[in-house]
Amino acid sequence: MEKIIKLQSDNQFTEQAVPGAFTTCNLLDFTIPGNATYDLSKSFIAINAELILTDPATGAPAGKDTQATPDTALYNTTVSLDTQGGSRFVSQCASLVRNCQLESQNRGMVESIRRVDTLRQCLYNLENDKQMQQERLENLGPQQGKRGVGNLTTDMIQAVVRNVDNQNNAQLGLKSKGIDRDFRIPISDLFGVGNAMWNGEVYGPTRMHLEMNTNKLALQNCGGIEDVTNGPNGTETYGEMLQQAAVAGGTDLTVMQTKLRYKDYSLNFPFYVGQAISVTTTDSVRGGAQAVQHVIIDSIDYSNNNSQATPGGDESMTITTRTPFYSTPGAQAPTNIDVLIKAYLPNFATSLIRINKADIVLAEQVGVQGPSEIDYRTYVSEIQVGTGNNYFHQYSVEAEAQNLIIASCDTNEIAPNRPWFDYRISIDNIDQTGNRSVEWAGNLHQDRIMRFFNNRGQNVDNLSLSMIDTALVQGIVNPTRPNQVDYFPLLETLPLTPAPKDVQIQMTGGVFGGAAAVQDIILYKEIVKTI
């Protein structure tokens, strides 16, 4: 029988701050009790967080507990991870952890891995194809959907896209609301023993210590370009509304109708009830002068083919705002009004990420006696700082090390995408590739990667050598590689030896057509251990 237990962190893990300003949520500790057996492959850490976003004009906050306030808006914004100097690549939640340790009371230190964030980023893009990367729940960062980059619906809101039924009855109590969310970190993404049955009676209480990349969390908008992005028909933008003709003077406008028609509005329609929007109106009588008003969507109706209500079954969306988005001057002659809308975005300078708590969720195996011995794969890491375009270093590598991973990163960044042109490797003064250098993305490079995974008993799912940038269009990688971001893993197999082996790495920084200085080089030595 399996029983799921949830335990709070040993230290207080709650704080709200603007991104990059967390001071107390940088260390995280848990204790796994020593009185039962746990399936760590089914266990995970859950970090619960929410957003408190502020209006750029008023400074009013909007969060999960304020959605019922009449003047409070919901912004289309989510959380991502700053992996490289402001760039945000789709990442596992495990990349929130910089360094990690696991220590058993009865057996001492089990694992201690430095820079597990870069390690996971490096392996993640090889172990998962692009579809898997887009579908995994343990991810950070918005990903391009049917509506394209910058035109998504945030996962920090429980969105309601229609609250008017087919009989034209508005259900104003049916509202979108801000939510808190658990960011899950599988224990198997952090530790080698995370794939095993953990016998607490053998190993005793086990302490888990994590150094967190909390200050790498960032806010990222999922909307705001609906006024310039074409919808399903390829001609009209999502934000284009039907012209309102012959509007009398002194009229307050609160209702608008989309130009676009929607076969599946739940999939394609980018707006939702309670959302803050920016409305740009052009009044023909006033000579083309534009007015911009920030309002909140109060209700949304879909005119499907079964509806007899106005405007009829033309598959358009009708949006009603809480307050007028335009008022024609009282003395003005009847006029035509053009309407264009987009998401109204929060003030990032004052908006907050709130971390509520951190729990560990353990899959306890009731009545199961776990093993007294575990074979597992772990890593010993070294960090070197390169200078210049040519990197050369000799490492002393443990006799039992069977694989080697080298990540090339910008200084103190997570993403392994500091470019290198080629490398050579020798083990105990024997060149591993003969008289050839291994060029990035070449056939020999791909072969070395496949050798690495074969040596682990795994298959490679993705050899595109690219990462998904949350701000770029995602498509098939072509020779010029414009749609995704290159990254530069170096993976090699190692022989098991009776004594430590000397490994020499020579690397040329840069890409085809240009040199670049090498910066952070992180070496991971993969070792099979037994506890």
pLDDT at 67 over 60: no
pLDDT computed for residue 147 by the predictor: 73
pLDDT computed for residue 21 by the predictor: 97
pLDDT computed for residue 512 by the predictor: 66
Q: Considering only CA atoms, which of 221, 274, 325 is closest in space to residue 63?
A: 274
pLDDT computed for residue 72 by the predictor: 62
pLDDT computed for residue 521 by the predictor: 97
384: helix, strand or coil: strand
Find the radius of gyration of the CA atoms of the chain.
Answer: 27
Find out if CATH 2.60.120 is the number for domain 376-530: yes
Per-position DSSP letters for 330-356, written without gaps between them: TTPPPEEEEEEEEEPPP-TTT-EEEEE
Rounded to whole angstroms, how far apart are CA atoms 140 and 19?
15
Q: pLDDT by residue (tens digit) across 76-113?
A: 999 999 998 888 888 889 999 999 999 999 999 999 99
Rounded to whole angstroms, how far apart are CA atoms 57 and 449?
52
Peptide bond into 311 cis (omega under 30): yes
pLDDT computed for residue 515 by the predictor: 77
pLDDT computed for residue 132 by the predictor: 60
Rounded to whole angstroms, how far apart are CA atoms 490 and 212?
25
- Which of 63-72, 88-97, 318-327, 352-361 has the least mean pLDDT? 63-72
pLDDT at 38 over 70: yes
Per-position DSSP letters for 202-226, written without gaps between them: HH-SEEEEEEE-GGGEEEEES-S-T
pLDDT computed for residue 233 by the predictor: 87
Q: Tokens 């008023």 identify what position? A: 58
pLDDT computed for residue 473 by the predictor: 66
Q: pLDDT by residue (tens digit) across 244-297?
A: 999 999 999 999 999 999 988 888 899 999 999 999 999 998 876 678 899 999
Residues 382-399 have a mean pLDDT of: 93
Q: pLDDT by residue (tens digit) across 289-318?
A: 678 899 999 999 998 755 455 445 688 999
Residues 12-36 have a mean pLDDT of: 96
123: helix, strand or coil: helix
CATH 2.60.120 intervals, the chain: 376-530
Q: pLDDT by residue (tens digit) across 447-491?
A: 999 999 999 999 898 888 988 888 776 554 444 554 578 889 999
pLDDT computed for residue 135 by the predictor: 54
Rounded to whole angstroms, how far apart are CA atoms 259 and 239?
8
pLDDT computed for residue 41 by the predictor: 96
Q: pLDDT by residue (tens digit) across 325-355?
A: 999 998 889 999 999 999 999 999 999 999 9
pLDDT at 404 over 70: yes
Residues 126-152 have a mean pLDDT of: 71
**Who contacts 262 (Cβ-Cβ below 8 Å, separation ≥6)?**
232, 268, 269, 302, 315, 316, 317
Rounded to whole angstroms, how far apart are CA atoms 101 and 380?
12
Residues 145-155 have a mean pLDDT of: 77
Share in percent of the chain as helix, strand, coil (round to 5): 10, 45, 45
Q: Considering only CA atoms, which of 232, 276, 282 is closest in space to residue 258?
A: 232
Confidence of residue 174 (pLDDT cuts 50, 70, 90): confident
Q: pLDDT by residue (tens digit) across 205-240?
A: 999 999 999 999 999 999 999 999 999 888 999 999
Confidence of residue 68 (pLDDT cuts 50, 70, 90): very low
Helix (H) or strand (E) holding 133: helix 130-135
Confidence of residue 55 (pLDDT cuts 50, 70, 90): confident
